Amino acid sequence: MKIHEVVITGYGMINGVGNNANDAFNALLAGNSGVDIISHFDASNEKVRIACEVKNFNPDDVMDKKEQKKADRFIHLGLQAVAEAMQRATIKIEDIDRDRFGVCGATGIGGLPTIERNVISSFQKGAKGVSPFFVPSTITNMLSGYVSIYHDLRGPNLSSTTACTAGLHAITEAAKTIMLGGADAMVAVGAEACICPIGLRGFANMNALSTRNDDPAHASRPFDKDRDGFVLGEGAGALILESLESARKRGAKIYAKLLGFGESADAHHITTPLANHEGASRAIKAALAMAGNPKIDYINAHGTSTYYNDLYESKMFESLFEKVPPLSSIKGSTGHTLGAAGTIEAVVSIMALNANMMPPTINFEASSDDMQLDYIPNKARAAELCTVLSANYGFGGTNGAIIFGKMDSY
């Protein structure tokens, strides 16, 4: 069986620092933070009152008004990222067989705000309080469903719901489909929008969130000694993956080549990673092996701003590399976008690769636990980049890593 090479021919994203890929990436390079007081609902009496919301987004841009109530906000955001990715990929109907163009969507939680509203309304009004669109507007696979319908993509229609690794897993599932000949092209899209009372309270009562309510911009502090939890974010990221043959046939611009990926499980604890991130380490080793053990020039780390993740992730990189490459986490700017993190961070990694610019870890003042890694503190840095690694880990002990390279280098 022939294994097809996979390349990236389009990308798009939306998050708390920008409503398209260029604006968001430039904001990351500038060290901007999108964290602020929550505006989606009145959080004035909450333990945590801050989040990283997408701002000035109009769902009219992606859906007719009468259709919007049939889809939760995470679907609206996902459609926005996909529309940008498809436009960047310059795919025309005559360019590719729609029967061989599929979708893999991802979300960590799905339509939580819509679930919350319908549950409250059900208790208040009984059966008539539940929308007939409740189920299809909230279930996790409807992201890929809507993308398929809106873009007439009739190939494999898949969905990944693996907590904070879901977005990355959407990319690897899409890649596997192309590699094995199941499709010529795939959209991989991750989206999340659970900044609502029940979502906020759930994470807050786990003591997982930062409580720097009086200093939102400095609340998310990946790898910093004074970190006190992550900040809830929302957004979406999307990639267009194609076989190398398909991309060359239609003369597409290739933004990166997918060199390798790896997946693993901790088999340890529902929320706490293994010490030294041993499970995540196995995923990264698998990605490196598939890629042929290239020199990694930059790592886009998971870096959540939680105590154990950042400590164990740092120790893992120390054990994996003789000399740890420069690494950073964008979550100081975007917050933690949960199931969208893997696709958003893959987009950022590919943009960094093409721009030869590494985004910074903002709000970093000093490392804890005597870690001496280069976290690219506070200021973006220019560097010649040929190969980048992005990694994510999620509740349930699920891990993933992916490696991209410049096409002209591989």
Contact by Cβ (8 Å): 352, 329: no
Distance, C-alpha 339 to centroid of its chain: 6
Angle of CA points 107, 111, 112, to nearest 5°: 105
Task: Report the 10 Å Cβ neighbour count for 265.
Answer: 12
Is 164 in the active site? yes
For helices 142-151 and 73-89, angle between their N-to-C axes, nearest 10 degrees:
40
* Spatial CA neighbour of 220 closest among 320, 363, 402, 360: 363
Strands 235-243 and 185-192: antiparallel
The CA distances from residue 160 to 110, 157, 272, in Å, are 11, 11, 21
Amino acid at 44: S
Cα separation of the two ends of the chain: 22
Q: Is 394 left (phi over 0), alpha (psi -120 to 50) or beta?
A: beta
Q: Is 302 a catalytic residue?
A: yes
Amino acid making up residue 247? A
Catalytic position from the list 4, 169, 277, 336 = 336
List 104, 164, 194, 196, catalytic entry: 164
Active site residues: 164, 302, 336
